[in-house]
Structure 1
């Protein structure tokens, strides 16, 4: 990944519609935030783009959440990962992103390698203006498969990311490779 841009951007204001104090925003509220922010041209245009690697700016997320504006050069992706105990959402602001995910909840501890059942793979394409929300322990990879067009997206997580688990995949076998902490990406 490229070095993050140093500035924070202000995202659209947020007023929680549901949930009690201390619970933070729901996945649906995070998705609403991501979609509204992705539609804000001033915020999206504030992201410097790098043809060699992803770029990102930290945003002011709703209700104590962690939020990011991310630029994806052609052909880049995240690799398989999860966001631990954080629920989240992301929305494509420009371009098209592809998400590969697993329709099964994996144990959060006590394993290094798992063989996945044949029917757990999911695939979706998110064009500009579309997004999706997810629950805790959601395992996925996100890709910009375009050979020529940069993509930009907005991501939000609550609680703020305690860690990201990185995986490798060979056929049906998913292996835990390493764990990243906030100091690794902020």
Structure 2
């Protein structure tokens, strides 16, 4: 497993003492620029591949390969803040510009103006706070994408959602022990 080290420069911290979302984005962008590391990721034509990295300040970080036409589905990060940056190819992020309640619901009807969409390539990235709900897609028909992701605190869980038009439905809650 590659060992990615962070720079020695001082980092801003979040209110919990961990790296801020902007620190995580800086890490993701620097790591996405490491051509040797990006080339070390085995790419599978059928499914996503990944390597766990050493993120800054105790964060969880991943290098992820995305075959053409793959995506995450709608999800959140269990209250962790995070960031990701494209290293090669292009990713599309669809997100919700609204804070959802974390418990006590199964289906929500979203307002008309909460959808956001952005494309990320060539080291461009995105930082987000602890209530971010999104899906990430490689919409290319023929090109792999590779990206770097970092989260703090390390992901305690992920909530997975399905979406039909304005209806968002909580489908499952995954815990880290299920990801190995």
Would you say same fold, with TM above 0.5? yes
In 2, Cα distance between equivalents of 1:127 and 1:53: 20
The answer as to 2:13 corresponding to 1:13 is: no
Q: Which residue does 2:33 correspond to in 1?
A: 39
Q: 8 Å contact 2:32–2:86 — kept in the other structure?
A: yes
Aligned-residue CA RMSD in angstroms? 1.3
The answer as to 2:128 corresponding to 1:128 is: no
Q: How does 1:1-186 map to 2 (within 5 A)?
A: 8-15=1-8, 16-19=10-13, 23-186=17-180
Q: What runs of 5+ residues in structure 2 fail to find an aligned partner?
A: none
In 1, Cα distance between equivalents of 2:112 and 2:15: 41
Q: 8 Å contact 1:25–1:158 — kept in the other structure?
A: yes
Q: TM-score, normalised by structure 1?
A: 0.93
Q: 8 Å contact 1:72–1:152 — kept in the other structure?
A: yes
In 2, Cα distance between equivalents of 1:20 and 1:130: 22
Following TM superposition, the consecutive aligned residue runs of length 4 or more in structure 1 with deviations greater than 6 angstroms are: none
Q: 8 Å contact 1:12–1:33 — kept in the other structure?
A: no
In 2, Cα distance between equivalents of 1:44 and 1:143: 18
- Residue 12 of structure 1, CA deviation: 3.6
Q: 8 Å contact 1:10–1:43 — kept in the other structure?
A: no
Give the secondary-structure state (helix, strand or coil) at the position aligned to 1:30.
helix
